[in-house]
Structure 1
Amino acid sequence: MKLPVGEEATRLKGWWPAHRFLVLRRLSQAFFLGLFLLGPWLGLWWVAGTLAGSRTFGVLPLTDPLVLAQSLVAGHWPELTALIGALIVLAAYALIGGRVYCSWVCPINPVTDAAHWLHETLGLQKGWQPKRHTRLWLLAMVLIVSALTGTIAWEVVNPITMLHRGLVFGMGFAWALVALVFLFDLLVSRRGWCGHLCPVGAFYGLLGTYSLLRVSAPRRAACDDCMDCFAVCPENHVIAPALRGKDGETPLILSPDCTNCGRCVDVCSVNVFEFTHRFDQHVEALPPPERSGTTAA
């Protein structure tokens, strides 16, 4: 009988090894969100601003590179601190993986994960699935609209920014926007927002195309075809090339769509996956089977 997704890993590895990256992601998301809320809620202005643009301890500037790109095409040359902040963020995510932002920082991720969990729990149909490159077209549209209007257009409706502002100033319309994202993923398109539409995810995916941090399947020969990794992966099309690769083909997940969430590492009961770097191409072979019986003298 097929066990629930992740159950076999929990039985064989223990609860923490089968959930560690999920728990660490939630702690990471709460940590980054909490840093921004310390000021308006408790008067501790360690970080002032939002994920679109901030200053840490009054010294370190950080700027969302997509916000900078919109500003530039809109005809607004930013201040030097904004340029420096964008370069810092660009370098960081180009190094560790662009869509790490989506799974480890973005506060909308828990909302869409909750929608997916409820979708699966209720046994709802897959729903409408737009093409994955739709988010690239939406990213291009964001830049075009910014250029035509002379504004940072996406920030007007960006659910991430709206959630931040809502938590600081009172939710109001922000609740409605976040609820729409949740309902879209629940009732219209399974994993539709992050996986198919979000232009922020598209941007960070492009940014992390050649990043160092990667998930690899070096022990793919041990795969028992339980399919749990495909079930939990928010971008499950990225797994097959690494997991099903032939001899001599890379075990690395190189698709920029991978969010490095680590759930495939968690739920694999035979430990096929691990985090590594893009230059680690090693593949482990299965140990030879033990012979039964004895050899005649």
Structure 2
Amino acid sequence: MKYIITTIRVLFFVLFIFLLLNGKMMLWLALYAVSLLAALLFGRVYCGYVCPMNTLMIPTEWLSKKLKLQTDTSPKWLSSGKFAWFALVGSIAIMLLAQKLLHKNIPILLIWLAVSVLITIRYKPAVFHNLICPFGPLQKVFGRFAIFSERVNKEDCIGCKLCEKVCPSDAIAVKPGNKRAEIETSLCLQCTSCQEVCPKDAIHYSK
């Protein structure tokens, strides 16, 4: 399953590069818009499988850990969670103004791609996914109502916290009360990382 997911990510990344080189970024933005509707049914599959930023962040995180560059903390000024919304509005404004005043298309997606890599060199992926990414806020809103998502069978969960350690968006946590893991659907990237490490097979993608 892991290799299939990786292949899907690589294929979408190749598509992203192809559209970028051919000046067809509006088609990618259209794909993103469709993914919001898909999130109502299947969760944030765009973030987990399609997004080029996430695809590059995965090897970046691996390298960062190897070089011991990554820290467990996150910048305090991001704690309110509002920055991502400002980033979204700002990105749209920059694109529209550039087209109207300069008659040029600013490669905003490419800029954020570079930012995602730079942030992940120092911080855990959850910092960018949850607090910085301008494409995340809308995915959160739509993903919160997902009909299908990764879910935990609490009867089988033993509270080992292995799932917590591998989740790239801090979407899963073992609750101190019942010692059972719970998944926050609005944050879950549907990447199946938690499912792969669960020793009790307690996590499944289901309705």
Q: How does 1:111-122 map to 2 (within 5 A)?
A: 111-122=56-67
Contact in 1 for aligned 2:87/2:133 (Cα 8 Å)? no
How big is the shift at 1:254? 3.8
**2:168 aligned with 1:265, yes or no?**
no
SS at structure 2 position matched to 1:104: helix
Distance verdict in 2 for CA 1:120–1:25, change over 3 Å: same
SS at structure 1 position matched to 2:150: strand
Which of 25, 49, 63 aligns to 2:24? It is 49
Q: Which amino acid aligns with 1:265?
A: Q
Aligned length: 199
**2:9 aligned with 1:29, yes or no?**
yes
Contact in 2 for aligned 1:93/1:211 (Cα 8 Å)? yes
Which of 171, 174, 197 aligns to 1:240? It is 174
Distance verdict in 2 for CA 1:179–1:254, change over 3 Å: closer
Contact in 1 for aligned 2:88/2:135 (Cα 8 Å)? no
Q: How does 1:268-287 map to 2 (within 5 A)?
A: 268-277=198-207
Structure 1 residues without counterparts, runs of 5 or longer:
1-19, 55-60, 66-87, 163-173, 278-297
If each structure's helix is expressed as a fraction of its own residues, which one has the higher value?
A: 2
- Cα displacement string for residues 98-152 of structure 1 (whole angstroms, at most 9, x for unaligned residues): x221111011212211122123233445254034653x43324532674698538
**2:39 aligned with 1:93, yes or no?**
yes
1:108 — aligned with what?
53
Q: Which amino acid aligns with 1:156?
A: I
Q: C-alpha separation between the residues in 2 aligned to 1:230 and 1:39?
A: 35
How big is the shift at 1:218? 0.7
Q: Which amino acid aligns with 2:71?
A: K
- Cα displacement string for residues 12-55 of structure 1 (whole angstroms, at most 9, x for unaligned residues): xxxxxxxx2x32322112222344566899xxx9xx933x425x
Structure 2 residues without counterparts, runs of 5 or longer:
100-104
Distance verdict in 2 for CA 1:180–1:267, change over 3 Å: same
Q: Which amino acid aligns with 1:240?
A: V
Q: Which amino acid aligns with 2:24?
A: G
The two structures have a TM-score, normalised by structure 1, of 0.54
Which of 187, 199, 202 aligns to 2:137? It is 202
Cα RMSD for the two superposed structures: 3.7
Contact in 1 for aligned 2:156/2:200 (Cα 8 Å)? no
The two structures have a TM-score, normalised by structure 2, of 0.74
Higher-Rg member (1/2): 1
Distance verdict in 2 for CA 1:152–1:255, change over 3 Å: farther
How big is the shift at 1:200? 0.5
**2:101 aligned with 1:156, yes or no?**
no
Q: Which amino acid aligns with 2:53?
A: I
Which of 42, 64, 69 aligns to 2:32? It is 64
